Structures are given as structure tokens and as C-alpha cells.
Amino acid sequence: MSQETGRRVAVVTGSSTGIGHATSMRLARDGYHVVATMRRPRESDLVDLARKEGLSLEVGELDVTSDASVTSLVDDVLSRFGRLDVLFWMRVDSLH
């Protein structure tokens, strides 16, 4: 269990819409503390949705194309929670 929340910890990338969004909510409903990541977290409705359901979820900024951004996020999660139980890497490249 996580040091900060007493729950298993999941990080979900690409959580602003679609599969990443739905996966974040599903994992939170299943009892995980979810760190839902995206490029523009201020535009997300996830925190409000989770709060309405009493779920343990936070939103964080992440650019999956940046090694520094990924390293910073993982370091932060491990320092705060002492573990990372699930990583759901949802990245969709644009087709041109």
C-alpha cells in the first residue's frame, strides 16, 4: 500500500480523453490511488468527477515524448508513495 494514501498506486498517461480517461476512472473506482497524467491538466474534468464519487485521483502534467518529464513524474510518485503498482501507458501518435 502507498505511504501517502494507504492504497495501491497507478499512473495512467493520456488521461485527458478516451481510453486513458476511462482507465483512470476505472482504476480509481477499483480502489487505486490514480495519478492521471496529460499534457494540459488544467483542462481536465477528472478531478471533479473523482471528487463527486469520493475517489482517490490526482491529475499531473506529463509529456511522454520528454525523458525529463517522465523521469520527474516517476521520481515524484516514488518519493511520495514509495511504490508504483500499475503503469498504463496510453500514447496515441497522430496519423498524418
pLDDT for residue 96: 46
Give the C-alpha distances (Å, rounded to integers) separating 14 from 21, 25, 26, 61, 93.
Answer: 7, 13, 14, 10, 11
Q: Strands 57-61 and 9-12: what pairing? A: unpaired
At 59-87, the pLDDT tens digits run 999 998 899 999 999 999 999 999 999 99
At 23-45, the pLDDT tens digits run 999 999 999 999 999 988 888 89
